[in-house]
Amino acid sequence: MFIEDLDRQRWSFREARQHVARLILRQIELAGTPPSGAQGAAPQWYRSGDPVQQAQEIAMRELLIALKDGDLHATGRLSKQRRERYASGSSSWDFHSGHQEAILPHQWREGRFGFQENLELRDGEFIDIRVPRFAVKAIWLDLPPSPGGTEPAYTTPYLELMQAAIGAFQMSDRAQAKKENLVAWFLEQEIDGEPVSENLANAMATLIRLPSSQRGGSRRIG
C-alpha cells in the first residue's frame, strides 16, 4: 500500500462501536452465543435474551480494552478549563480545543469514559473522540464467507436493524409489538453513526409488523 492510498477516514467512537457490535451480533445469530471469552461475563440483560444490547455492551468493552492496551489509538479535543456549576454542585469542562490531539493509553486507563462518549481525566476532558477506520476494521475483521465458499446473503444496515428489533421484541406471527414501542426503540438506535429519523423509525416499525396487526388481527406484546 502506498501512503497516498491510506484510508484516512476517522470514525467517531459511536461509529466504531456500531461496526464492532454488528459483527458481534452476526456472530451471535450464527453461533447462538457471544464471542469466545465474553459469555462468562454476560450480565443480567443477556440472560433475559436481548442480543442487540448484548452486542453493544461487548463492543464497548472490546473497544475500551484495545484503547487501554494501546492496540487502538484515538484522538480527541481536550479541555483543561473546569467550569463550576454552583447551582447543581457538579462540574464540567469548557473551551475544548478546536484541534484533535492524541489520547494516550494511560489516559484511557486512568480516566472515566462517560455516556456522552467523553473521557474525563483528573485535570481535563476529551470530547469528540475519533479512531482511524482502517485500524478498527483491521482489528475487527468482517466475518469470512460460509464454509461452502458462498458469499453471505446480501443485507443492509437497515435490514440488520429491523432484524435486531424483531429479536429484541421477540416478535412472531402470533405476537406483534406495538408500533409506538417499536418507533421509540428505533429512535434510540443509529445507522452508520447517524441517528434514526422519525420518518424512518415509523417506516421500519410498519415494515416489521404483519399487515393484519394494523387492523388488530394479531395479539400485541410490549
- Tell me the average pLDDT across 128-150: 80
pLDDT at 212 > cutoff 90: no
- Res 168: pLDDT: 79
- Output the pLDDT for position 40: 43
Mean pLDDT value of segment 55-61: 89
Q: Given a cut of 50, is residue 45 above it in pLDDT?
A: no
Percentage of the chain beyond pLDDT 70 is 76
Rg (the chain; Cα; Å): 20
Whether 68 contacts 108, CB under 8 Å: yes
Reported as a pLDDT band with limits 50, 70 and 90, residue 149 is low
Q: Is the dihedral of CA 13, 16, 17, 18 positive or negative?
A: positive
Grid cell 463550576 in the structure block, residue? 84
Q: Please tell me the predicted confidence (pLDDT) of residue 181.
A: 92
Q: Which pLDDT value is given to residue 207?
A: 92
| pTM of the predicted model as reported, rounded to 2 decimal places | 0.60
- For residues 133 and 165, what is the distance between their CA atoms, to the nearest angstrom? 27
Residue-wise pLDDT for 64-108, tens only, equals 999 999 999 999 999 998 876 544 445 588 889 999 999 999 999
- Do residues 169 and 177 touch, judged by C-beta distance below 8 A? yes
